[in-house]
Amino acid sequence: METHGKYGGVVPELASREHLRAIVPVVRNALEIACARWNDLAAVAVTEGPGLVGSLLVGITYAKSICLARNLPLIGVNHVEGHIHAVILESSANPIELPAVALVVSGGHTHLFEVREGFSYRLLGKTRDDAAGEAYDKVAKLLGFGYPGGPIIDKLAPHGNPRAVKFTLANMKGNKLDFSFSGLKTAVLRWTEERDLTREIEARRMLQNPSIADWLRVTPKTTLDLLASFQRTVIEELMRRAASSAEEIGAKSLIVSGGVASNAGLRAAAQSANFACPVYFPTPGLSTDNAAMIAAAAFVKLRRGAFADLTLRAQANLTLA
């Protein structure tokens, strides 16, 4: 966050350089914390895609090298499947009933999948433009809040009136389970252009390591109302399509995962909504990108003996289902 924050988003070249710098000490540290040695490992799992190709290449090259040197099997994992398994991992005591609907909401994804027995997936709907997390990040950037925008807007939204600004919900032609967030982003841009916010935006940009109290000091009520209304609209869009998907496939569970799943407003809305099936979220620490979810998805493949060979390559646009 420190590296990318000042540019208002992830810079691919910096991301792969940071991966290169961090990967060896991070893996060493993880082994130490787990009190494990290389000989204790059954396999090495690595993300093969989707994602930034430079970062994927660093992980894949390192994973292959360990496998070659230690004579371990290699397992390739889809990043999105990892997000779904973050939830399954935590419910091992009370397994989640399938079929399930999985709503994966992150900076790069807003996808609805049917999860069937044996972990096969069918795409039910996806965003046609921006991902929900991307909309959070763009709105935050536009208004002078830092990067990533999601956690900041999430913390400020309870200080505003969620009904103050009326945004129209996206009405999708064709697949009714698809999402669109670009209209909402444009509506926020128009709202901003109709007012002179230069001074408050500048005041926010000047803040160094701000606390919530600092943000509140330089953010008038009207802007807090906008943030609250924006968040309410995003949550409504996500919830209503998740509910329709669950109904359509007769889901026995709803899984919500990805960075945006750590949103407190979304969690509260999902718990109080009258879903016909139980709703599962990962603990916030496992909602955003992490390695445990990749290991969890790989575990199923390990049991099946679904190993990759050293021809495994990075696939920036890898799809699930």
Residues contributing to the site for ligand KG4 (CB under 6 A): 106-108, 133-134, 136-137, 148-151, 154, 258-260, 262-263, 288-289
Nearer to ligand KG4, 106 or 245 (CB): 106
77 vs 277, which CB is nearer to Zn ion? 77
Closest CB to Zn ion among residues 114, 289 = 289
Q: Which residue is listed with tokens 């059954």?
A: 42
| Alpha-carbon span 155 to 62, nearest angstrom | 37
Least gap, CB of 215 to ligand KG4 (angstroms): 14
Among Zn ion, ligand KG4, none, residue 149 binds (CB under 5-8 Å by kind) = ligand KG4
- By beta-carbon proximity to ligand KG4, the closer residue of 45 and 277 is 45
List the beta bridge partners of residue 254: 101, 279
- Of residues 84 and 277, the one with the C-beta less far from ligand KG4: 84
Q: Which does 110 bind (CB under 5 to 8 A by kind): Zn ion, ligand KG4, none?
A: none
Contacts of residue 304, defined as CB under 8 A and 6 or more positions apart, other chains included, come to none
Closest distance between ligand KG4 and the C-beta of residue 42, in Å? 26
Smallest distance from Zn ion to CB 293, Å: 9
- Residue 280: name the closest of 154, 77, 95, 108 by CA: 95
| Residue 178 interacts with, from Zn ion, ligand KG4, none (CB under 5-8 Å by kind) | none
Q: What is the distance between the alpha carbons of residues 124 and 112, in angstroms, rounded to a whole number? A: 5
Q: Out of 78, 106, 180, 219, point to the residue binding Zn ion (CB under 5 A).
A: 106
Q: Does 48 bind Zn ion (CB under 5 A)?
A: no
**Two structure tokens written together for 204:** 């926010």
Residues near Zn ion (CB under 5 A), total: 2
Place of tokens 């209209």: 183
Q: Which of 103, 101, 109 is nearest to 51 (CA)?
A: 109
Q: Which residues of 211-244 are buried (b: 16+ CB within 10 A; e: fewer)?
A: eeeebeebbeeebbbbbbbbbbbbbebbbebbbb
Give the pairing type, strands 253-257 and 120-126. Answer: unpaired
Q: Are 108 and 131 in contact (CB under 8 A)?
A: yes
The item of ligand KG4, Zn ion, none sharing an interface with residue 78, based on CB under 5 to 8 Å by kind, is none
Instruction: Name the residue nearer to ligand KG4 (CB basis): 76 or 107.
Output: 107
State the nearest-atom distance from the C-beta of 83 to Zn ion, in Å. Answer: 6
Rounded Cα–Cα distance for residues 46 and 75 (Å): 6
Nearer to Zn ion, 55 or 231 (CB): 55
> Could you tell me the smallest distance in angstroms from the CB atom of residue 82 to ligand KG4?
9
Task: With beta carbons less than 8 A apart as the criterion, state whether 106 and 305 touch.
Answer: no
Nearer to Zn ion, 191 or 280 (CB): 280
The answer to whether 146 touches 173, Cβ cutoff 8 Å, is no
Select from Zn ion, ligand KG4, none the partner in contact with residue 150, using the beta carbon and a kind-dependent cut-off of 5 to 8 Å: ligand KG4
Task: Classify 95 in phi/psi space as left (phi over 0), alpha (psi -120 to 50) or beta.
Answer: beta
- Out of ligand KG4, Zn ion, none, which partner does residue 151 contact, by CB within 5 to 8 A per kind? ligand KG4
Residues 274 to 303 in contact with Zn ion, rule: CB under 5 A? 289
Binding site for Zn ion (CB under 5 A): 106, 289
